[in-house]
Amino acid sequence: MKIGDILINKGEKKKFTLGNISGTAFCGRNTGKTLVITAGVHGGEYVGIETALRLIKELEAEKLSGNIIICPVLNTDGFYDGVKQISTSDYKNLNREFPGDEKGTSTQRIAFDIEKYLYPTADFIVDLHGGDINENLIPLIFFPYGSGEDMKNYVRDIASRMSVNFRVGSYASNGLYSYATKKNIPAMLYERGEHGIWSEDDVLAEKEDIYKLMEMLGIIKDGHDISVNKKQKEIVSVEYVEAECDGLWYPYIKQGQRVKKGELLGVLKNIEGEKLQVVVAKFDADILYYTLSLGVRKKDALIAYGTE
Ligand SMILES: [Zn+2]
């Protein structure tokens, strides 16, 4: 297998750095598909990062039919500085910077290198996220609604066999996974964990799902249960509510809660306690995630809720 100009021999595990990205590649003894696993696009989403690190330790290239490339921390500045969603080097959100720019800011150059080195090798990309330091979230998968019927159906089938209970159709196009689907590479975004913490239970659950994905792609044959998760719901319509101005955010719900049309979900107030924005459910819905921060800036995400 080759990534850029780096050659990895059959049965070999190799660390690599190409441009602004680093990771570990496993070239299977037998040929097959290539799975790319990315994490740390957002530096405070720890379950995905820890899961990626465990997989790097556990996987054995000798036993694979195909290849696996794992980049555990793509936004290293954001990760080591412990900030939410952005890189501290240029204040940009890597998951909004696709397509990248070879001559752009540091985050735009990372996006460019992901496209240049990871996209061409991938038969499937899973990008691991979670609720960030300032978010509560129910585990879910985003998959592409806007990249054609075949892409939607293929990724939906894979998502439907994961342990998370929500899969969310998305029309995004400027993120790592969503832009990949625009380039006809099957991809999805997996979210688990929240609030800037990670737990052993969450890491083990996420790791099992990634092993299932490898099994579905034919890279391993270890007998993981890849039957359809009958509890999983498909969210076809999502309301993403942003703050209309700077303010103090008071949510009245929890992630995973079922709410009725017209129900009060939260209020944005000014420092004097006057209401600036009242958020009410536009339809019966499940709460997918919401912001925990008391102080929020204009345009910050407050809450996302969706319906089947
Ligand atoms: Zn994220």
- Kindly give the distance from the C-alpha atom of residue 46 to the centroid of ligand 1, in angstroms, as a whole number: 10
Which domains does the chain carry? 2-233 (3.40.630.10), 239-307 (2.40.50.100)
DSSP letters, 216-240, are HTTS--S----S--TT-EEE-EEEE
DSSP 273-290: S-EEEEEE-SSSEEEEEE
Q: Name the nearest CA neighbour of 202 among 139, 257, 143, 159.
A: 139
Q: Give which of 302, 298, 288, 299 is closest to 249, Cα–Cα.
A: 302
Give the model confidence (pLDDT) of 175-192 as tens digits.
Answer: 999 999 999 999 999 999
Ligand 1 centroid distance, CA of 181 (Å): 18
If you measure from the C-alpha of residue 12 to the centroid of ligand 1, how many angstroms do you get, rounded to a whole number?
31
Q: What is the pLDDT of residue 29?
A: 95
pLDDT at 229: 98
Rounded to the nearest angstrom, the distance between the alpha carbon of 130 and the centre of ligand 1 is 6
Contact 267, 277 (CB under 8 A): yes
CA of 253 to the centre of ligand 1 (A): 21
Q: What's the gap in Å between 45 CA and the centre of ligand 1?
A: 6
- pLDDT over 90 percentage in the chain: 98
For residue 299, the CA-to-ligand 1 centroid distance in Å is 16
Please write the tens of the pLDDT for every residue from 217-268. Answer: 999 999 999 999 999 999 999 999 999 999 999 999 999 999 999 999 999 9
User: Does residue 201 have a pLDDT over 90?
Assistant: yes
Whether the pLDDT of residue 84 is over 90: the answer is no
Distance 221 CA to ligand 1 centre (A): 30
Q: How far is the CA of 29 from the centre of ligand 1 (A)?
A: 33
Burial of 238 (0-12, 13-18, 19+ CB in 10 A): middle
What's the pLDDT score for residue 257? Answer: 95
pLDDT at residue 210 greater than cutoff 90: yes
Q: How far is the CA of 134 from the centre of ligand 1 (A)?
A: 11
Burial of 112 (0-12, 13-18, 19+ CB in 10 A): buried
CA of 62 to the centre of ligand 1 (A): 32
Judge residue 298's burial from the number of C-beta atoms within 10 Å of its C-beta, 0-12 exposed, 13-18 middle, 19 or more buried.
exposed
Mean pLDDT of 106-121: 98
Angle between helical axes of 46-58 and 200-216 (0-180°, round to 10)? 60
Query: Measured in angstroms, how far is the CA atom of residue 254 from the centroid of ligand 1?
Result: 19
| Ligand 1 geometric centre to CA of 84 (Å) | 9
- Of 182, 192, 193, which is closest to residue 155 (Cα–Cα)? 182
Helix (H) or strand (E) holding 248: strand 247-251
Centre of ligand 1 to C-alpha 9, Å, is 33
Give the pLDDT mean for 211-216.
98
How many other CB atoms are there within 10 angstroms of residue 198's CB atom? 20
What's the pLDDT tens digit per position in 256-297? Answer: 999 999 999 999 999 999 999 999 999 999 999 999 999 999
Cα-to-centroid distance, 212 and ligand 1 (Å): 22
CA of 142 to the centre of ligand 1 (A): 11
Q: Where are the alpha helices (DSSP H) in 114-167?
A: 149-159
